[in-house]
A and B are shown apart, each in its own frame.
Chain A
């Protein structure tokens, strides 16, 4: 990918990033650059550090960056709070969206949307204007209005939770979205809805990182680049056919890359 000429500045640059939790190293020098309009897929075995990478980019407090930098739109964000990262346009779609009893989904979505709008110097929305906006966005993920009056993710099925994540992405209009196993636990119909939602929300100005185990999401959303992670490192990067090859040969095939390097 270095060979391609890039016309605009990168959205996200992860440079030689190492990180640990409880003194246990998880990431061991990850580098990754995302330009506007690009879709990247990160694949790899469970425990290889994919989810950790996404959490660290979003600012999870349990991880310490021991080396390297994360730059967003050219600025180092290593020490920014998670909410500051979110407001400025970084979105993390959770593998396991968290239930928050008692907090209404509608109110949560509104407060969150307004935090982002405030950052963008856009007018904050009152309940009525927000209702209008959210109605429009619900269409994208084919969600029923009834979801809004329930507590955040509480009692949602796996598929409903994932659609709620994409609804949030639609409302927040991030510059970059990192979607951590958004396809897991979805049946084929739900997968199509989620995938088409992601495509509708993204454009030439946004970047997307898909963390996944399966080809079936990549059939719906074709990535420009596929990265294979193992033991806290990106061990191979290719184009979309790499995912197909991986699907055919399994992760054991990738073990050889480590021996090579």
Chain B
């Protein structure tokens, strides 16, 4: 038996991002009804079709039931006790970053995402979202020179309405599921990316989501469109302060890849996870889906999920185009009383489509970590292939790991391969490393990053280092 107390010390998580920014905000009253939706739409000066989209979604949502098939245990969410719009007060029209409230800039500085001209990250363009609104987007002019559009979704509604009207809700329809319907009704902000035909985006694009207020939900919506023969790498990060109440985060992400286009979408999710007794933390109910519409198009999801009290997300690929490719690389780390139910859906519709799933779940403390995934071969998916590998690592003897692979094939001429394993960090392995002078904590963290190596290799360079550091941090004890 591995020494329980030592393990507990090691996996104790110091959450660095738990501070609250004291800033004047404009909030609407708690509760959800048709008027609230009209108010949000009005505040954002939206066109009629979008208000329609929201109202229809709301009607559907009212008739739907919160899903319980994942068997997650949590206190029932009171949807009337949530604020659906919260924005930091600032000048009506901001023409440059200099006009952004310094407190906001400082907040993102503290999070390691400097936005100002002097300090901004040199190789990544950032869209910073604070509660319900986008604060700033860097490198806009440089990107515009290549025809790349990178802005908040609210701005896209104003300036690129045709694209929004054409694509919004085409990958994740409003009625897709309970949380997607809720998002469609009340979404506030998020990022919009458009890569024109033949363009390789000159730098990585990144959105950073920050929840600041404790009583408002976050409902962001992201839409990425990659035209023929274009490519983009997009990164997403998120943190939130420590509150003893739960905050709902229900996002929708839609990706569209046309012929020969490729989208790489990477997430490092570090929402506040709640304390050791499971008090507080983010409820993370997210619908992410990509549509490989074009021939030989490719969508690759990679995610490092370490935060949230509850994670419920299944970044998926609809493989429509002939020879299109879907990938899912995931590391999910849970500790204390965290629950994660995550995985993917690879829906093979077109012929000769290919998908790869690599999932690594690490459960420590009393947490529950489940992989849930669907691989489906449709009747026309002749010559399609899938490879899945799901590995779980247990730390301590109170944590649990589950794997729920669903496989459906209507095409005899296709291949599905599934491998799964569960391991425990053994006392012998730890002793071996320790007997070579390596500290207990470092030994655990070396083994965990070793276990995740296949996934980390898929992350963009800067992100891989961050992810490795984040896991080490999560596994860092009070000593050293």
Contacts and interface: CB of A to CB of B under 8 A. Distances in A.
B73 interface: no
Contacts of B446: 100, 103, 107-108, 111
A153 to B, nearest CB: 9
For chain B, give the interface size range: 20 to 34
Contacts of A115: 436-439
A81 B436 contact: no
B451 A112 contact: no
A107 B3 CA distance: 25
Given A60-B431, A100-B447, A108 B453 contact: no
Nearest to B453: A102
Contacts of A107: 446
A168 B435 CA distance: 11
B433 interface: yes
Contact of B447 (A58, A103, A112, A172): A103
B436 A100 contact: no
Interface string B410-449: 0000000000000000111101111111111010001101
Given A111-B438, A115-B438, A102 B447 contact: yes
Interface of A: 58-62, 81-83, 85-87, 92, 94, 97-98, 100-104, 107-108, 111-112, 115-116, 119, 151, 168, 172
Given A101-B451, A102-B449, A102-B450, A86 B431 contact: no
Interface string B451-476: 11100000000000000000000000
B438 A100 contact: no
Which of B432, B433, B437, B447 has its CB near the most chain A CB atoms (within 10 A)? B437
A131 to B, nearest CB: 19
A151 B452 CA distance: 13
A10 B452 CA distance: 45
Given A98-B426, A102-B450, 10 more contacts: A61-B431, A62-B427, A83-B440, A86-B436, A92-B435, A94-B435, A100-B432, A101-B451, A103-B447, A112-B436
Which of B435, B447, B450 has its CB near the most chain A CB atoms (within 10 A)? B435
26 contacts: A59-B435, A62-B427, A82-B435, A83-B440, A86-B436, A86-B437, A94-B435, A98-B428, A98-B431, A100-B429, A100-B432, A100-B446, A100-B447, A102-B451, A102-B453, A103-B446, A103-B449, A103-B450, A104-B450, A107-B446, A108-B436, A111-B438, A112-B437, A115-B438, A116-B437, A172-B437
A52 B435 CA distance: 14
The 6 closest A-B CB pairs, nearest first, are A102-B450, A115-B437, A103-B450, A112-B436, A86-B437, A82-B434
Interface of B: 3, 426-429, 431-440, 442, 446-447, 449-453
Contacts of A116: 437
Contact of A97 (B3, B432, B439, B450): B432
A98 B451 CA distance: 15
Given A98-B429, A100-B429, A111-B442, A86 B450 contact: no
Contacts of B429: 98, 100
A6 B427 CA distance: 39
Contacts of B437: 83, 86-87, 112, 115-116, 119, 172
A103 B446 CA distance: 7
B456 to A, nearest CB: 10
Contacts of B427: 61-62
Which of A60, A97, A100, A168 has its CB near the most chain B CB atoms (within 10 A)? A100
Contacts of A81: 434, 440
A83 B436 CA distance: 6
B339 to A, nearest CB: 25
B433 A108 contact: yes
A107 B437 CA distance: 13
Contacts of A92: 435
Nearest to B439: A83
A119 B451 CA distance: 29
A168 B450 contact: no
A60 B3 CA distance: 11
B433 A100 contact: yes
A86 B434 CA distance: 8
A236 B453 CA distance: 51
B450 A151 contact: yes
Contacts of A61: 3, 427, 431
Contacts of B438: 83, 108, 111-112, 115
A235 to B, nearest CB: 28
Contacts of A119: 437
